[in-house]
Structure 1
Amino acid sequence: MTISFELKNYLLKNGAIEVGYADIENFTPKKDLNTGIVFYITYPKEIIKNMKNAPTKEYVEELVSLNTRLDELGMKCEEYLINKGFNAYAQTKKRLGTDFGEFNSFELPHKTIATRAGLGWIGKSALFTTKKYGSALRLSSVLTDAPLKIGTPILKSQCGKCMECRNACPGGAISGKEWNYRLKRNEFYDDKKCEKYALKVSEENLGKADTVCGKCIYACPHTQRYIKKS
């Protein structure tokens, strides 16, 4: 049994919905940790189903819960690999903090590793997207030097002509331009417009200004198929 197989099973047993491995040698922020492990947990269908007038209190509570669970899973993954004799660094929310830089993005975003692992692509909403779950998920990642079997990268969008997320965005943050791995996020998506609208709508819906919205998650046709499945 390979370390790739063992680790994936370990993460799935501890709550991950999907796991992938990526070659990050050319852009790792940690010297010699050239492989990225990425995993995600999905939002419960019922919470997303009720997000037509997003954001909702239940969505925000679940977002916080998922972040906590993902951080815990990241630390378990790091510990597992270190106990096996490898070096590892979990990119937890707690460690990375809230300083996302100029464009509200980490140095090596989880979703970059996820596309390189072949788990999905970046939607026009700038959210990581899969055919099975749409954007109704949250990601985390771990960097390591373990010899893992890497996936086949997805290097361009699979959104096609769909504009559902753009049409659902009252803040005008989504240009409708398709992502590819060469594009920087600010070339097809305006995080400042997203933030401005999110502060307004969260104040209206939740009674407290926050940078949460979720309308684009709900609008994605792949998300809709996920929440309608029995």
Structure 2
Amino acid sequence: MLEEELREVLTARGADLIGFGALKGVPGAPLPNGVAVAVRIPREVLRDIRQGPTKRYYDCYQVLNERLNGIVLAGERFLRERGFGARALSTDRVTQSGDARTALPHKTVAVRAGLGWIGKCALLVTEAYGSAVRISSLVTDAPLVCDVPVLPRCGGCARCEQYCPAGAVRGRAWENGTDRDELVDIAACRRQMLQMTRESFGVATTICGQCMVHCPFTNRYAETGNMERAVSRGAESAEES
């Protein structure tokens, strides 16, 4: 099947999560289907940033962004070679407006593709890794069997709001149609990130990680790993013994 072959291509390039989402009618979507991919942030990097961003975290971002570019470009090539239209939304092709918006956010594709939901801090939250992921996407007219979106699971949790050093998280739960600015004061967030990274490692950049690293879903991954994978590995070892 096309979906299985595409998953194999993307996994071989390093994707940890993959989903297919219907984009018909979504503003900014030039083609009817989207492919969302995510790569996890290593646990050891997460454990370093519980008090603030680090140079190691910054370097990790650059590495993962390049990996994501390679993944979505590989997906684009695979689909085009089979006669379908496809466009990878790699970093060199996506432009941001002055308020850090893009025509088709990767998060929109990821939610449509069932990778996760939007948390109260406006980050994607996944079951397996919490918000400890970097994401990218591509769009295509290939007739993919699409995944089902995931319902939000934040409930009454307010940890991202509690730990935001800028006080930028407003505490509102996301639902379909909620604008980003209803969730987060993005200007306050960016000011705080620039200050923190400048003071921490001398580079003024927009990373922080506090809402991410204190999310319970991220904590479960960072401290104990993904339980489903651990169970799977244990079963495989039992079969081999």
Give the TM-score band, short-chain normalised. Answer: over 0.9
Query: Take 1:127 and 1:152, find their aligned partners in 2: how far apart are those partners?
Result: 19
Q: Report Cα offsets for 1:36-87 as digits up to 9, x if no partner.
A: 0000000111000111122011100000111111011111110110001111
Contact (CA 8 Å) 2:16, 2:39: kept in 1 or not? yes
Matched residue, 1:211: 206
* Equivalent in 39, 42, 46 of residue 41 of structure 1: 39
The answer to whether residue 153 in structure 2 is matched with residue 188 in structure 1 is no
- Point out where structure 1 has 5 or more consecutive residues left out of the alignment: none
Q: CA deviation at 1:157?
A: 2.4
**Matched residue pairs, number?**
225
Matched residue, 1:3: 2
Distance 1:30 1:177, change over 3 A: closer
* Equivalent in 217, 221, 226 of residue 226 of structure 1: 221
The answer to whether residue 111 in structure 2 is matched with residue 115 in structure 1 is yes
Query: Take 1:28 and 1:146, find their aligned partners in 2: how far apart are those partners?
Result: 19
Query: Take 1:173 and 1:73, find their aligned partners in 2: how far apart are those partners?
Result: 32
Cα root mean square deviation, aligned: 1.3
Q: CA deviation at 1:207?
A: 1.7
Distance 1:182 1:144, change over 3 A: same
Q: Report Cα offsets for 1:120-170 as digits up to 9, x if no partner.
A: 10111111001210100010000000010101123x521011111111111
Contact (CA 8 Å) 2:13, 2:70: kept in 1 or not? no
The answer to whether residue 102 in structure 2 is matched with residue 106 in structure 1 is yes
Query: Take 1:142 and 1:28, find their aligned partners in 2: how far apart are those partners?
Result: 15
Highest CA radius of gyration, 1 or 2? 2
* Equivalent in 124, 127, 146 of residue 131 of structure 1: 127
Q: Secondary structure at the match of 1:47?
A: helix
Structure 2 length-normalised TM = 0.90
* Equivalent in 119, 142, 148 of residue 152 of structure 1: 148
> Identity rate of aligned residues, in percent?
37
Q: CA deviation at 1:29?
A: 3.1
Q: CA deviation at 1:208?
A: 2.4
* Equivalent in 76, 85, 96 of residue 87 of structure 1: 85
Q: CA deviation at 1:28?
A: 5.5
Structure 1 length-normalised TM = 0.94
Query: Take 2:98 and 2:167, find their aligned partners in 1: how far apart are those partners?
Result: 19
Q: Secondary structure at the match of 2:146?
A: coil
